[in-house]
């Protein structure tokens, strides 16, 4: 048996599981948006961070990576891992996957993807859209067990750049967050290691206007996630 999984967020730079093949490409009919809450990785139940999800959009496409996992046991292990890692995402669906060499005919069909739907009755973690400034303020100030929310955004920007994708939406949001942090170096991941971005975060004092925090529950899922070892530590 063969399982293919599509990554469009943190899975691009950190799959967290063993795979047999990684293919760079894109899916059609969706757009990538920072409309999903993160309450146990890049935020908390009281102060959620923002992570990406997919929303349908005719004519759009989303770049990312497809991962091939072969064998029943390996497939079941990866699915169990992803069910915990992606527990805040309520939809599991299958999509066609294309590459630059084959933009019209899918090179892989039946690729699994996790999506946080905009249906608030089923997806309590859906934050929805917000003005750029408000979204940037939330990302600049939220943090969770896996680290600050802005690190997730910057790593996504860098990972997309690494696979040949310059997502204007991601770049615009990242630039706005950099302005709030007082950091203007573009795609300089060395900042994470010498501590300058961390210090910038500590120095930033921003007003938080996110008021709908009571709808989130503390699921205390860290113990379950930790059972998979350090692979989840920095998602």
Annotated catalytic sites, by residue? 86
| Closest residue by Cα to residue 138 from 124, 121, 152 | 152
First-to-final CA distance of the chain: 27
Say how far apart CA 95 and CA 180 lie, in whole Å: 37
Residue 94 in 3-state DSSP? strand
DSSP helix, strand, coil percent of the chain (3-state; round to 5): 30, 30, 40
Burial class (CB in 10 A: 0-12, 13-18, 19+), 214: exposed
């Amino acid at each position: 048996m063969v399982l293919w999984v599509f990554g469009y967020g943190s899975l691009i730079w950190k799959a967290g599981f063993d795979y047999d093949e990684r293919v760079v490409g894109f899916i059609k009919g969706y757009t990538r948006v920072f409309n999903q809450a993160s309450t146990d990785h890049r935020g908390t139940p009281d102060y959620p961070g923002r992570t990406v999800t997919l929303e349908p959009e005719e004519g759009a496409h989303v770049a990312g990576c497809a991962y091939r996992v072969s064998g029943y046991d390996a497939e079941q292990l990866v699915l169990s891992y992803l069910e915990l890692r992606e527990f805040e995402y309520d939809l599991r669906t299958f999509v066609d996957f294309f590459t630059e060499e084959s933009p019209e005919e899918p090179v892989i069909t039946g690729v699994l993807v996790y999506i946080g739907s905009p249906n608030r009755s089923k997806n309590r973690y859906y934050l929805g859209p917000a003005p750029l400034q408000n979204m940037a303020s939330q990302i600049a100030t939220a943090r969770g067990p896996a680290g600050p929310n802005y690190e997730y955004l910057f790593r996504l920007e860098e990972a997309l750049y690494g696979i040949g994708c310059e997502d204007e939406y991601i770049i615009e949001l990242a630039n706005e967050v950099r302005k709030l942090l007082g950091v203007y170096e573009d795609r300089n991941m060395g900042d994470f290691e010498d501590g300058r971005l961390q210090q910038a975060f500590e120095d930033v004092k921003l007003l938080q206007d996110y008021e709908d925090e009571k709808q989130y529950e503390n699921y205390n899922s860290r113990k379950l996630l930790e059972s998979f070892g350090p692979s989840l530590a920095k998602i």
